């Protein structure tokens, strides 16, 4: 996720995009919901009794109730970079007889948790937004206690291939994020010290009647161009017309426009020689009024 020593993703733009999308996200997250549900289903195959679960990049918090129901004895923590997203997440949480999750505003590359304090890190469609993926993986490894699990999903490099082709008919500037390749992810997990990495892919295809509907969904979910080398400002009318015309060539025999997303699912474990008992002194306390503060 870097070009030489220069990150190819602008962290500030990521935060701005999701801050703008917080109010509209839940009405347009069809892809995010499908991928999150598939990642949750994969936990059915794993025997785990976590004491603390971290939803890394919780967004509007839709995974938190499912994680709480699956692990009723665990403390559930949701972390996100964007305060606006966490305010939406906070509004939907709670319920009779259920403890509210802890919500934390922080960067995935600088987790504000003690070493070996989390038993499960769950992260759906998040890690590709980090300027330096290795830092995120190293932080995940740091906070996981043996035999903790890291389970995640991320778009693969073949995602939005139709949109990439259409943009190439307009100019050569980056307009779609560079998504990590499976081999790079596997190597990164090993470098971070995570054990037994397993990765596989699914391909999902969304279909639209009009190109404008695809763009509206991307904007509504904050899935916009956060490349450091992007061109600032709005796309001009002539360029937009060329882009729309180029995407029209992707229309299928069914009359619909496809948007293909390659989804990489992965998991890896915190290595260790023996099962460690949870430490009693690693409580996390984060006041909800801190949600309006931005991380430094």
Instruction: Please give the Cα distance from 10 to 250 (Å, whole number).
Output: 30
Query: Is 10 inside any structural domain?
Result: yes
Confidence of residue 57 (pLDDT cuts 50, 70, 90): very high
Contact 40, 219 (CB under 8 A): no
Q: Residue 290 — pLDDT band, cuts 50, 70, 90?
A: very low
Quick one: pLDDT at residue 11? Answer: 87
pLDDT band at 5 (very low <50, low <70, confident <90, very high): very low
Mean pLDDT throughout 29-36? 98
- For 100-130, the pLDDT digits (tens) are 899 999 999 999 999 999 999 999 999 999 9
**What is the model's pLDDT at position 274?**
43
How many separate domains does the chain show?
A: 1
Q: What pLDDT does 226 receive?
A: 65
Q: Residue 43: inside a domain, yes or no?
A: yes
- pLDDT of 53 above 70: yes
Calculate mean pLDDT across residues 51-63: 98
* Cis, peptide link before residue 130, omega less than 30° from 0: no
HEC secondary structure over the chain: CEECCEECECHHHHHHHHHHHCCCHHHCCHHHHHHHHHHHHHHHHCCCCCCEEEEECCCCCCHHHHHHHHCCCCEEEEEECCHHHHHHHHHHCCCCCCCCCEEEECCCCCCCCCCCCEEEEEEECCHHHCCCHHHHHHHHHHHEEEEEEEEEEEECCCCCHHHHHHHHCCCCCCCCCCCCCHHHHHHHHHHCCEEEEEEEEEEEEEEECCHHHHHHHHHHCCCCCCECCCCCCCCCHHHHHHHHHHHHCCCCCCCCEEEEEEEEEEEEEECCCCCCCCCCCCCCCCCHHHHHCCCC
Predicted pLDDT at 225? 75
Do the Cβ atoms of 68 and 97 come closer than 8 Å? no
Once rounded to an integer, what is the mean pLDDT over residues 244-259?
A: 97
Q: What is the mean pLDDT of residues 219-236?
A: 70
Mean pLDDT throughout 239-261? Answer: 96
Predicted local distance difference test score (pLDDT) of residue 237: 85
The rounded mean pLDDT for the chain is 87
- Is residue 236 a part of any domain in this protein? no
Does pLDDT of 279 surpass 90?
A: no
Going by pLDDT thresholds of 50, 70 and 90, the confidence category of residue 8 is confident
Asked whether residue 190 is domain-assigned, the answer is yes
Domain limits for position 132? 2-156+180-202+264-292
The maximal CA–CA distance of the chain, rounded, in angstroms, is 63
Residue 16's CATH number:
3.40.50.150
Share above pLDDT 70 across residues of the chain, in percent, rounded to a whole number: 84
Residue 291's pLDDT is 41
pLDDT on residue 277: 40
Task: Answer whether residue 189 is part of any domain.
Answer: yes
Query: How many CB atoms sit inside 10 A of residue 260's CB?
Result: 15
pLDDT number for residue 93: 78
259 within some domain: no
Q: Is residue 40 part of a domain?
A: yes
Q: 153 falls in which pLDDT band (50, 70, 90)? A: very high
Residue 63: inside a domain: yes
CA separation for the pair 261, 258 (Å, rounded):
10
């Amino acid at each position: 996720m870097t070009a030489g020593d220069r990150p190819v993703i602008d962290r500030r733009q990521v935060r701005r995009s999701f801050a703008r999308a917080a109010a509209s996200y839940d009405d347009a997250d069809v892809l995010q919901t499908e991928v999150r549900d598939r990642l949750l289903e994969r936990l059915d195959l794993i025997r785990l009794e976590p004491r603390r679960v971290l939803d890394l990049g919780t967004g509007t918090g839709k995974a938190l109730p499912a994680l709480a129901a699956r692990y009723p004895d665990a403390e559930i923590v949701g972390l996100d970079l964007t305060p606006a997203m966490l305010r939406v997440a906070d509004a939907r949480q709670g319920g009779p007889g259920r403890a509210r999750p802890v919500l934390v505003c922080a960067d995935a590359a600088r987790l504000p948790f003690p070493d070996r304090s989390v038993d499960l890190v769950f992260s759906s469609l998040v890690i590709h937004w980090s300027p330096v993926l290795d830092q995120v993986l190293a932080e995940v490894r740091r906070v996981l206690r043996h035999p903790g699990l890291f389970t995640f999903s991320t778009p693969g490099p073949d995602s939005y291939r139709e949109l990439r082709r259409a943009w190439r008919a307009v100019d050569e500037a980056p307009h779609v994020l560079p998504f990590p390749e499976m081999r790079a992810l596997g190597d990164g997990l090993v470098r971070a010290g995570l054990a037994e990495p397993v990765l596989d892919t699914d391909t999902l295809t969304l279909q639209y009647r009009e190109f404008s509907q695809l763009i509206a969904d991307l904007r509504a979910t904050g899935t916009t161009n956060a490349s450091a080398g992007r061109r600032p400002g709005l796309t001009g009318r002539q360029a937009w017309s060329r882009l729309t015309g180029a995407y029209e060539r992707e229309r299928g025999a069914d009359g619909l426009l496809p948007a293909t997303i390659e989804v990489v699912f992965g998991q890896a474990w915190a290595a260790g020689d023996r099962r460690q008992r949870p430490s009693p002194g690693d409580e996390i306390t984060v006041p909800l009024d801190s949600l309006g503060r931005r991380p430094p």
